Amino acid sequence: MPIYSPLRLRLGSANAYLVPAQTDYVLIDTGDPGLTFLLFRALQRHQISPREIRLIILTHIHYDHIGGLWQVQAASGAPVMVHEIEAADLAAGRVVIPAGTYPITKRLSRAGQWIAQFCRFPGYQAEYIVSGEAQSLADFGLNGQILHTPGHSPGSTSIILDNGDAFVGDLCPNTWYNRRLLHSHFPPYADDIAGVYQSWMRLLDSSARRLYPGHGPSYGIEELRGDRVLREDKRAGE
Ligand SMILES: [Zn+2]
Ligand SMILES: [Zn+2]
């Protein structure tokens, strides 16, 4: 049962996406640690062999997006792509926790950062290092590009396909607390708040139509264009 549209894999709190390429698949992110069996189970359900994954792209290197990296890489043999700014931390296996953007997440972030200093991943030397603003993915059978969209983390990227599907990592999540409490797709964690706005603008100016976030279900880009924080920001500038 091959897939023709992006398959959302819910691996703990975070999503990974299996994206059909020309002849095989590209995997975007690898979910929370310890839940890779869910990914393998989903592949099995769709009768897809891990060997059909030809590339693993990491939108950024937070633990909830790289947790399954080592297992998936070993099973698939696929090379890994990451932005140059985060390649060294990935290679060193550093556990990186972003700053909070709301009072409660600021506290949680500080606690997480304290714990993180005692934790380590095995480390992974990525085969493909993304540099510059945008890079084509045509060599991997995907009609689209990978864009540098920092803010949530310095080396965050978004994968924008020509058909309008955009995989945005944690740039504009869509969790229940985004919808019910924050009434905004603004990330509860981000290292550079101004950078998030700039990357949102970059996304809004791109060919992105449907956003596939690292947390929560996909949504249309118009929802981001009408986001509460963008409207408030606009009003503040008037
Ligand atoms: Zn993140
Ligand atoms: Zn995340």
Residues spanned by the domain of 118: 7-237
128, with CB counted inside 10 A (0-12, 13-18, 19+), is middle
Mean of the per-residue pLDDT values for the chain?
94
Summarize pLDDT for 178-199 with one digit per residue, the tens: 999 889 999 999 999 999 999 9
The verdict on residue 63 lying in a domain is yes
Q: What is the DSSP letter of 139?
A: G
Domain at 147, CATH number: 3.60.15.10
Residue type, 81: M
Q: Name beta bridge partners: 26.
A: 19, 55
Q: What is the DSSP letter of 15?
A: E
Please check whether residue 141 is in contact with residue 54, taking contact to mean a CB–CB distance below 8 angstroms. Answer: yes
- Name the nearest CA neighbour of 75 among 44, 102, 100: 44
Q: What are phi and psi of 102, to 5 degrees?
A: -125, 160
The alpha carbon of 149 and the centre of ligand 1 are apart by a number of angstroms equal to 12
The verdict on residue 1 lying in a domain is no
Domain count, the chain: 1
The alpha carbon of 132 and the centre of ligand 2 are apart by a number of angstroms equal to 23
The alpha carbon of 70 and the centre of ligand 2 are apart by a number of angstroms equal to 18
Please report which ligand is nearest the Cα atom of 152: 1
The alpha carbon of 84 and the centre of ligand 1 are apart by a number of angstroms equal to 16
Measured between alpha carbons, how far is 185 from 53 in angstroms, rounded to an integer?
Answer: 30
Measured between alpha carbons, how far is 102 from 226 in angstroms, rounded to an integer?
Answer: 21
The verdict on residue 71 lying in a domain is yes
Measured between alpha carbons, how far is 54 from 98 in angstroms, rounded to an integer?
Answer: 29
The verdict on residue 101 lying in a domain is yes
The verdict on residue 85 lying in a domain is yes
The verdict on residue 155 lying in a domain is yes
Q: Is the pLDDT of residue 133 over 70?
A: yes
Residue with tokens 């975007």: 28
The alpha carbon of 38 and the centre of ligand 1 are apart by a number of angstroms equal to 20
Please report which ligand is nearest the Cα atom of 150: 1
User: Does the global pTM surpass 0.85?
Assistant: yes
Please report which ligand is nearest the Cα atom of 98: 1
- Report residues near ion ligand 1: CB below 5 Å: 62, 170
Q: Is the pLDDT of residue 234 over 70?
A: no
